[in-house]
Amino acid sequence: MPEAILKIEGLSKSFEGSQVFNDVNFAIPEGELSSIIGPNGAGKTTLFNLITGYHVPDKGKILFRGTNIAGMQPFHIVGLGIARAFQRTNIFPRMTVLENVLTTVISARKGNLSLFAPFRNHDKDHERAYEILENVGLADMASRESGTLAHGNQKRLDIAVALALEPKMLLLDEPTAGMSPEERWHTVELVKGLWEKLKITMLFIEHDMDIVFGISQKVRVLCYKTILAEGTPKEISSNQQVIEAYLGEEV
Amino acid sequence: MTIQLFIFMLVNGLSHGMLLFIIASGLTLVFGVLRVINFAHGSLYMIGAFLAYSLSTLLTTGTLQSFLLSLLLVPPAVALVGFVLEVLLFRRVYREEHLLQLLLTYALVLILDDVVRVIWGGDPRNVARPEIFAGSVDLFGMALPTYNVFVLLVGPVIALGMWLLLYRTRSGNLIRAAVWYPETLGALGVNVSWVMTSTFMLGCWLAGVGGVLMASLANIDLGIGMEKIIESFAVVVIGGLGSIGGALLGSLIIGVGITVLQLPFGRWALVFPYAVMALVLILRPWGLFGKPER
Amino acid sequence: MVNNRNEYSSTKRNWIAGIIVTAGLFLLPFILTNFGKTGEYWIWVTTEMIIMGLFAMSLNLILGFGGMVSFGHAAFFGVGAYTVALLMKKAGVSLFFALAAAPVVAGLAAAVIGWFCVRLIGLYFAILTLAFSQLLYMIVFQWYTFTGGDDGIHGIPRPEFLGPLNYYLLCLVLFIICFLIMRMLVNSSFGLTIRTIRENLERAKFIGLNVRRFQWLNFIIAGSFAGLAGGLLTELNRFSQTEFLHWSKSAEPILGSLVGGMYSLLGPAIGSAVLIFMKIFLQQLHKGLVEIWAIILGLVLLVVVLFAPGGLVGIYEKAFKKS
Amino acid sequence: MQLEVRNINTFYGLSHILFDVSLDVDQGEVVVLLGRNGAGKTTTMRSIMGLTPPKSGRVIFKGKDVTGLAPFRVARLGMGFVPEDRRIFPDLTVHANLEVGHKGSGGKTNKWNYDRIYGFFPRLDELSNRRGGTLSGGEQQMLTIARTLIGDPDLILLDEPSEGLAPIVVKMLGGFIDTMKREGVTILLSEQNVKFALKHSDRAYIVDNGHIKYQGSVAELEKDEDIKKRYLAV
């Protein structure tokens, strides 16, 4: 079994007195494509917020390749190799699609302090940005103002921005939320394809069980303030505890 | 510095603090509901003060009747100005970004201050205190100006009145509800625009009360609006934007601070509000009584 | 709110217009000198326009491009002004050294003040900048022995070769240099980064940006240019006064930016010039009008806020886009 | 018909969200809008209530054209809106929250007074002096319904009431919906929880990408495996 890229130990977090997590523990092996499921309000997004430094945990360790990143600043964590795409579209709306990716490419190579050289003339950045846009199928919209894109394309741009950071681990928060059925499967294939191509670790939150069980190597169920169960899709869908707490009788 | 001098300064500082509270509470109330920092609040206060002056020249100045009459008439007049401003201007920018809102109120400062100058001119004025407040009261063997003690007592009355209004009436419930979810309030059948207009008018009424009280406390001139809006800013920042209790504490800190520090530091004491404001923003940006926004 | 797709448009049309205007600006004083006293007055006015335009452009680096509303930009304008005044009057330093020192000292002040301010966002940032600038204002106001208090510092020497015309040309050249530097800045990777932060500050953190650091740097750069503008105005007036630090001075470049359009580089300079011109024009038209200048300015501002938040440049771009 | 929605088109800024949406709700019915996240259910409700007025089309409530009317006027005509995120006024006590929703009888006698509301939601009676901000999710959901109910609406728009609630609370909520229906309140519900929705509704509409894709009785929908699979991922 490969080395764990992310290891969470005894993680606890409360907001204004109400506890969201109590002693969460799990480890994600390098290169895994896995998902997190759980009822609304179980704290799936909060978990991402803790891993990426948006919130500071009350207790516990978040070890990313051996470094404890709990409480670090987001930009620091990004620098170590964790990127995320957001549940609600979260891009730079009045910049073009290309600029959205370009600014991230520049950030990834720490070139932001170049005060005088025009960013438009840097061929390598452009090539890289176009390559990423092609990967997610947005290359032909490069010069559009990103805020005017359709919802599905904005979400894909969000993923493109995350990819531009060349992360070792990518967190995707409901990548198909608000998409039509065709768009959904398109996005699922995109995610799967990227995973196979880039060979990075991916962790995503998803509500659609067909998608979850369709592409995850492993599923973790977040419920009752902790990880209720983890296992292969097959194990999870037949886990009595999970059925009671979350899936219901239907599945 | 004797202890007596200190108490004297303290009472003075407290009365200035209470005056400041009356003005600043209007500012913070309006911010709480409308989410607009009204730069022009100081100008409205100044208009109140000058209206009190004009009214006193029409009546027998220095009588209790004339004083009470201006306390009765001037604040509603200022509230009426507020009504016009809210309906014609403020209403249009609630959804705009902060900068445009601030610039709108700044434009009003330019206009209102100049209107005051055109109407009343630049000379300092004052209104004679009604004779029953003109003397002084004895306290610990010191003669304290009665009027200052009076202002000192008006502050808590206003604070209590605001508390009763906000926490013991249906209108208060509506105002406190509008702070959070104006849209939901509308969907419950409440005319939210009217709640906002009334709140704004209440804020202006408070500025008017401050103006009337100020007119007999010290000289009034074209600078008082600016002076008080900056002090109110400091008060509101210290107390936390939107918090009435915070405004009370902040007013006392600023009012007493400026007055008491004048003894050892002279005019350098005027630096105090800015220093406190900067310090609070650095250490606790959401203010002593406020809550962090996230 | 404002469409800024053409934020850095450098189309042919703009280039041609730019060259014509620049040439016109260089020729203008030579024409004006032929008109005796009136001409000299107008040279003085245009010099002030250029300086205030530079001040407004410097603010716009943080306001329009950075999305940070500062109410205390006059602090750095004032620091620049007093640096020139004190160095020349009290230390006998030459004008060029003093003018070189102004942006450096202002930049240092911006570094100190900005270090605290960039920790806050939105309204809180705005109020803290105001508090700091007023703090500085009070200090300059009270410290009579060093700054001359509310008397200001008068009688700043002027090198002989710098008549009104030459000083105009000096300011114009400096303005163009500063403009070109700022243009490079906003078009650089740094400029893109600043815009990225403006667009979505939270997201910017998650593309690995140390947001505060870039905002701080931008704040310092903007402060430095403001310092140069302050120094230039001090030398133009040959005095420095506390008004230069007052918050109402901070409002001037904001008004200029708003009137001119804050999503373009030159908009704020154009806006400031228009405002100065308008004031003088009204004064010439009728003396009574300047008495109520604040009312007129306030009304203009109201109209812009309510009906044209993109400013003059916004109107210009809209007009051309439609045609 | 108590509510008729005719070909409404709604925009958020420049983005077109609803396309020619039409629906009817009859007096005393429970009608559900089904569809995934972002399909346009909430926007439909906001358009009906006047919170996001449609650019074109008409909303007719009790025979009266209410399109473009301010929400508070629509509310006073007898429509209630229970927002998805509940929006309990956190600084107000439970009782004060109810007072805000109370419109005053205005001549006619209120069907729902405080006693009845507290009888209906005994838990709120126990909590009546607690600040709204301290309630749990389920308690907040009860309060937000109660707050609308006390304004005596003829029609309630219930936006995703089951979201984020524990199964047992959802069950209780279902009971409230059934009781309200018995009391003669018309309900337009929006839900993602298909099972819950179908259990308590008479008719259903399916919204997808801002279009109405299906309408029919619950019994019909139950049988239509194809539709269920296509739009509801069931």
- CATH number for the domain spanning A198: value is 3.40.50.300
CB atoms within 10 A of CB B210: 35
The amino acid present at C106, given as its one-letter code, is A
List the domain range (segments joined by +) for residue C203: 25-30+41-247
Q: What pLDDT is stored for residue A26 in this prediction? A: 93
Number of domains within chain C = 1
Distance from CA of C247 to the nearest CA of B (A): 10
Cβ of C255 within 8 Å of Cβ of B103? The answer is yes
Rounded Cα gap, residues C254 and D63, in angstroms = 52
- Overall residue count recorded for chain B in this entry: 294
Our CA-based measurement puts residue B140 at a distance from the nearest CA of chain C, in whole angstroms, of 35
Stretch B17-39: mean pLDDT: 93
How far apart are the C-alpha atoms of C198 and B132, rounded to whole Å?
59
Are residues A140 and A193 located together in one domain of the fold? no
Which residues 6+ apart lie within 8 Å of D130 measured at CB? D93, D94
C20: pLDDT strictly greater than 80: yes
pLDDT tens digits, C193-250: 999 999 999 999 999 999 999 999 999 999 999 999 999 999 999 999 999 999 889 9
Backbone phi and psi for residue C286, each to the nearest 5 degrees, phi listed first: -160, 130
Q: Is residue D60 over pLDDT 90?
A: yes
User: How close is the nearest chain A Cα to the Cα of D164, in Å?
Assistant: 5
Q: Work out whether the CA dihedral B291, B294, C1, C5 comes out positive or negative.
A: positive
Question: Confidence band (pLDDT; 50, 70, 90) for C8?
Answer: very low
Question: Coil, strand or helix: which one is D93?
Answer: strand
Look at residue A3 in the predicted model and tell me its pLDDT: 79
Residue C310's pLDDT is: 75
Task: Give this complex's ipTM.
Answer: 0.85
**With an 8 Å Cβ cutoff, are D100 and B181 in contact?**
no
Question: Which of B173, B180, B186 is nearest residue D70 as measured by Cβ atoms?
Answer: B186
- Chain C CB contacts of B100 below 8 Å: 1, 305, 309
Instruction: Average the pLDDT over D95-100 and give the result.
Output: 93
pLDDT of residue A247: 65
Tell me which residue of A241, A226, A222, A242 sits closest to A40, measured CA to CA: A222
Determine the pLDDT at residue B143.
Answer: 84
Residues carrying CATH 3.40.50.300, chain D: 1-78+154-234
Which of A166, A183, A202 lies at the terminal end of a domain, its last residue?
Answer: A166
Q: How sure is the predictor about D234, in pLDDT bands with cuts at 50, 70 and 90?
A: low
Q: Which of residues 178-207 of C touch A (CB under 8 A)?
A: 181, 184-185, 187-193, 195-196, 199-200, 202-207
Measured distance CA(D85)–CA(D164) in Å, rounded: 10
Nearest to A41 among D14, D39, D164 (CB): D164
Q: In b/e form, how buried is each residue of B255-277, taking b as 16+ CB within 10 angstroms?
A: bbbbbbbbeeeeeebbbbbbbbb
In a domain, C271, yes or no: no
Question: Does A238 lie in the same domain as A123?
Answer: no
Picking from A136, A166, A196, the residue at the C-terminal end of a domain is A166
At A190, is the secondary structure helix, strand, or coil? helix
Within 10 angstroms of residue B175's Cβ, the number of other Cβ atoms is 21
A108 with A210, same domain? Answer: no
Question: What CA–CA distance (Å, rounded) separates D21 from D10?
Answer: 9
Q: What is the pLDDT of residues A190-222, one digit of tens each?
A: 999 999 999 999 999 987 788 888 899 999 998
Neighbours of chain A (3+ CB pairs under 8 A): C, D
Q: What pLDDT, in 10s, does the model give residues A58-68?
A: 999 999 999 99
Q: Which residues of D touch B189 (CB under 8 A)?
A: 72, 75-76, 101, 103, 151
Q: Within an 8 Å CB–CB cutoff, is residue B174 touching chain D?
A: yes
Q: Could you tell me which chains touch chain D, where touching means 3 or more CB pairs under 8 A?
A: A, B
Per DSSP, the three-state class of D5 is strand
Per CB-CB distance under 8 Å, the chain D contacts of A183 are none
D186-227: pLDDT as tens digits? 999 999 888 899 999 999 999 988 999 999 999 899 888 888
Give the DSSP per-residue string, A34-95. EEEE--TTSSHHHHHHHHTTSS--SEEEEEETTEE-TT--HHHHHHHTEEEE-SS--S-TTS
- Which chain A residue has the Cα nearest residue C191? A115
Q: What six digits make up the tokens of B164? A: 């009763």
Label residues C27-62 b or e (16+ Cβ within 10 Å = b).
eebeebbeeeeebbebbbbbbbbbbbbbbbbbbbbb
Taking each helix axis from N to C terminus, what angle separates C247-260 and B98-120, rounded to the nearest 10 degrees? 120
Q: Which amino acid is at D3?
A: L
Give the β-pairing of D155-159 and D56-61. Answer: unpaired
What is the tally of helices (H) and strands (E) in chain D?
Answer: 10, 10
Give which of D131, D13, D2 is closest to B167, Cα–Cα: D131
Would you place residue A251 in the very low, low, confident or very high pLDDT band (cuts 50, 70, 90)? very low
- Range of weakest confidence among C53-57, C283-287, D117-121: C283-287
Higher-confidence residue: A183 or C91? C91
On the 0-12 / 13-18 / 19+ scale of CB atoms within 10 A, B69 is middle
Strongest mean pLDDT among A136-145, B5-14, C98-107: C98-107
Q: Does any CB of chain D come closer than 8 Å to the CB of residue B291? A: no
Share of chain D above pLDDT 90, in %: 61
Shortest Cα distance, chain D CAs vs residue B283, angstroms: 26
- Number of A/D CB contacts below 8 angstroms equals 27
Closest Cβ opposite residue D75 in set B179, B181, B187: B187
Instruction: Enumerate the β-bridge partners of residue D5.
Output: D23, D59
Q: How far apart are the CA of D87 and the nearest CA of chain B, in angstroms?
A: 7
Q: Do A180 and D233 touch (CB under 8 A)?
A: no
Chains A and C touch (3+ CB pairs under 8 A): yes
Q: Alpha-carbon torsion A132, A136, A142, A147, what sign?
A: negative
Per-residue pLDDT at C149 exceeds 90: no
> Which of A39, A148, A151 faces D38 most closely, judged by CB atoms?
A151
* pLDDT of residue A1 exceeding 70: no
Q: DSSP letter at A22?
A: E
Window 162-191 of D, Cβ < 8 Å to B:
none
- CATH fold of D1-78+154-234, please? Rossmann fold (3.40.50)
Query: Does the beta-carbon distance from A94 to C214 stay under 8 Å?
Result: no
Give me chain D's average pLDDT, please: 89
Between D14, D167, D209, which is nearest A180 by CB?
Answer: D209
pLDDT score at B102: 87
- Look at residue B171 and tell me whether its pLDDT is greater than 80: yes
A91, A73, A75: which is closest to A83 by C-alpha? A75
- Coil, helix or strand at residue B275: helix
Mean pLDDT of chain B: 91
Partner-chain contact B170 D99, CB within 8 Å: yes
Instruction: Assess contact for A195 and A202: CB atoms under 8 A.
Output: yes
- Cα dihedral sign, B188-B192-B198-B199: positive
Q: Which of A21-25, A210-214, B237-241, D12-16 has the lowest mean pLDDT?
A: D12-16
The fold for domain B3-283 equals: ABC transporter involved in vitamin B12 uptake, BtuC (1.10.3470)
Q: Residue D36: pLDDT above 80? A: no
Say how far apart CA B46 and CA B17 lie, in whole Å: 17
Per-residue pLDDT for D106 more than 70? no
Residues of A in contact with C184 (CB under 8 A): 115-116, 118
Whole-number Å distance between alpha carbons of C105 and C84: 10
Task: Name chain D contacts of B176, Cβ cutoff 8 Å.
Answer: 89, 91-92
Nearest to A92 by CA among B97, C314, C192: C192
User: Which token pair is C24?
Assistant: 């016109």
Instruction: Tell me how far the alpha carbon of residue A39 is from its chain's centroid.
Output: 18
Q: Which residues of D touch B188 (CB under 8 A)?
A: 72, 75, 80, 100-101, 103, 147-148, 151
Cα dihedral C131→C137→C142→C144 (10° resolution): 160
Q: Is the same domain home to A175 and A236?
A: yes
Size of interface B-C (CB pairs under 8 A): 104
Confidence of residue C320 (pLDDT cuts 50, 70, 90): low
d(Cα C94, Cα C110) in Å, to the nearest integer? 24
Chain position carrying tokens 């730019």: C18
Q: Which of B110, B237, B267 sits opposite C127 (nearest CB)?
A: B237
Is the confidence at residue A50, as pLDDT, over 60?
yes
A225 and A156 housed in the same domain: no
Percent of chain D beyond pLDDT 70?
96
**For residue C152, what is the DSSP state?**
-
User: According to the model, what pLDDT value does residue A250 have?
Assistant: 43
Contact (Cβ atoms closer than 8 angstroms) between residue B38 and residue B89: no
Going by pLDDT thresholds of 50, 70 and 90, the confidence category of residue D228 is confident
Q: Nearest CA to CA, how far is B79 from chain D (Å)?
A: 25
Please compute the mean of the pLDDT values over residues C18-43 and round it to a whole number. 90
Q: Would C253 be classed as within a structural domain? A: no
| Cα C80 → chain centroid | 12
Best B43, B103, B109, B115 member to test C by mutation, with max C CBs in 10 Å, is: B103
Query: In whole numbers, what is the pLDDT of chain C averaged over residues?
Result: 89
Lowest mean pLDDT among B139-148, B176-185, B203-212, D207-216: B139-148
Q: Grade residue B104 by pLDDT with cuts at 50, 70 and 90.
A: very high
Q: Using CA atoms in the order B38, B43, B49, B53, what is the torsion angle rounded to 10 degrees?
A: -150
B282 to C305: CB separation less than 8 angstroms, yes or no = no
Return all residues near B58 (Cβ < 8 A) that are at least 6 apart: none
Report how far apart, in Å, the C-alpha atoms of C56 and of each of C7, C35, C264 are: 17, 30, 12
Mean pLDDT of A102-127: 88
Say what the pLDDT of residue C228 is: 98
* N-to-C CA span, chain D: 31
Q: How confident is the model at residue B81 (pLDDT cuts 50, 70, 90)?
A: very high
The H-assigned helical ranges of C148-199 are 164-187, 189-199
- The pTM of the full predicted model, rounded to 2 decimals, is 0.88
Question: Within a 13 Å sphere around the CA of A47, how many CA atoms are in the beta-carbon half?
Answer: 34
Opening angle at CA C45, ends C39 and C47, nearest 5: 105
- Check the CA dihedral B110-B116-B119-B122 and report its sign: negative
Residue A228: what pLDDT? 87
Residue whose C-alpha is closest to residue C311's, from C257, C253, C259:
C259
B214: tokens are 């100020």
Please list every residue in chain B whose beta carbon sits closer than 8 Å to the beta carbon of residue C306: 89, 92-93, 104
Residues near D78 by Cβ (< 8 Å), separated by ≥ 6? D61, D62, D152, D153, D154, D155
| A77 and A179 share one domain | yes
